[in-house]
Amino acid sequence: MPVSVRALQQMAIYLGIMTGGGCAVMYYLMQKNFARSEYYRLAMEQLNSHHIALERLGAPPIKAHNIRFTDRSNRIDKSVAQIKIPVSGAKSAGYLYTSSVRDAVLSRWCLQEVVLQLKDGQRIHIFNTNDETQQHQD
């Protein structure tokens, strides 16, 4: 029994909509997973506690945008996480570059470095493990 061209067109449209919707849901869930991760949350906490960075961005509010999965700056494996988080405020926007390592003993992520690079090229060092170590030694 032959199938009409119209039925095939309707099936193709239906499958296209379902595939597109599935991809959109997956993208949303992956972004939500990033936002819940410990290395992401720790970096955002550092940004929100850095008064100079907040002033330059024009906060509050700070808005964190979706991470680009195709950006080569974003690398995550079992022990290292390097991500580039797009952020913006009322005055300016930029990227929050973060680097974290996973402590195998404590089974948690530890920030190594957080740097805010604004669109105008200005870099603001927000957190560095070496700075923390020197403060504890003094």
Closest listed residue to residue 43, CA positions, set 71, 70, 76, 69: 76
**Mean model confidence pLDDT for the chain:** 88
pLDDT at 3: 81
Residue 86 β-bridge partners: 95
Structure tokens at 99: 């680097």
Measured CA to CA, the distance from residue 28 to residue 32 in angstroms comes to 6
Q: 42 CB contacts (<8 Å, ≥6 apart)?
A: 98, 100, 109, 111
Closest listed residue to residue 82, CA positions, set 49, 125, 37, 124: 37
pTM, two decimal places: 0.79
Structure tokens at 20: 């597109």
Amino acid at 85: I
Residue 59 has pLDDT above 80, yes or no: no
Residue 111 has pLDDT above 90, yes or no: yes
